Amino acid sequence: MDKIWTTSELINWGKNFFVSKNISEPRLNFEFLLCKVLNCNRIDLYLKYDYPFKPNQLSELKELINRRAKFEPLQYILGEVEFYGNKFISDKRALIPRPETELLVIQSKEIISQINKPKTRVLEVGVGTGCVSISLAKLFPAAEFYGIDISQDAIDLAFENKELHKVENIKFKKADFFEFSTFSYFDLIISNPPYIPKEQYSKNNLQEELFFEPKIALTDDADGLVFYRKFAEIIKLSTQKMQLILEINEFTSDSIVELFKIDNVATTKIKDFNNLDRILIIEKK
């Protein structure tokens, strides 16, 4: 006779199994997988401690466990991620939104609030899931938001998240940043560009989970500064007041700042929750 597994028994087994597989936060990860199978919140697991899992539920759980044990990101398995207090669809089409990237929203919110124009125009370069632009569009319904990405998959995902959140003041378009030419139309440009240097993009240097995410969103296949050089060129050539807010790599932050040592351009570095350089604000005066 097959064993009847309860929620509490599965949590204890699953935590130990994920520990053996070197999965970070093993209990938390396993509880989220249980929640997906049971279609419930984590708090509800403790109300279902003695719940007996049915064979079909165990089969589904086994599949999810195997995916996580191979280091597939939890967010892709769950199909969603929380970002700035909202849930977004998340899958292999785009980079997983990180808590540190919420700083882009926080800092952009301050800048947009200070721009004294009837209709502020904001561009995001490399929209991914669309979480940054959508979060801001919800906060500033009178502003115009545009998002570009070279990946059609990412644009499709961003559009799905736009529909999910029912925001109307944002447009997404497939476009190559290096061929885009209408930057002067915008008051603020936001980006979390690919910044991992090519030499650092290897399984010896990075977490296994990162190799499930789109490579094009992680590395520029060069020195990690390609996008920042383009941003520096944009602001140098701008004949009007403009601001950029960029996520940066703590390992190359000094090199990035050096690129923006341009006449009439001021820079401000912002540290993240781990006290690492994470955001660079650039202003053309």
Q: What is the pLDDT of residues 236-249, one digit of tens each?
A: 999 888 999 999 99
pLDDT at site 170: 98
Dihedral sign from CA coordinates of 111, 168, 79, 33: positive
Residue 184 φ/ψ, nearest 5 degrees: -65, -15
Q: Report pLDDT digits (tens) over 35-52.
A: 999 999 998 998 888 999
| Three-class secondary structure of residue 44 per DSSP | helix
Distance CA 178, CA 119 (A): 26
The owner of tokens 């940066």 is 248
**Please, which pLDDT band fits residue 2 given cuts at 50, 70 and 90?**
confident
Q: Which helix (H) or strand (E) holds 28?
A: helix 26-38
CATH of range 84-284; options 3.30.530.20, 3.90.950.20, 3.40.50.150, 3.10.20.740? 3.40.50.150
Domain spans of the chain, in order of start: 7-70, 84-284
The owner of tokens 């899931």 is 129
pLDDT at site 159: 98
Tell me the pTM. Answer: 0.93
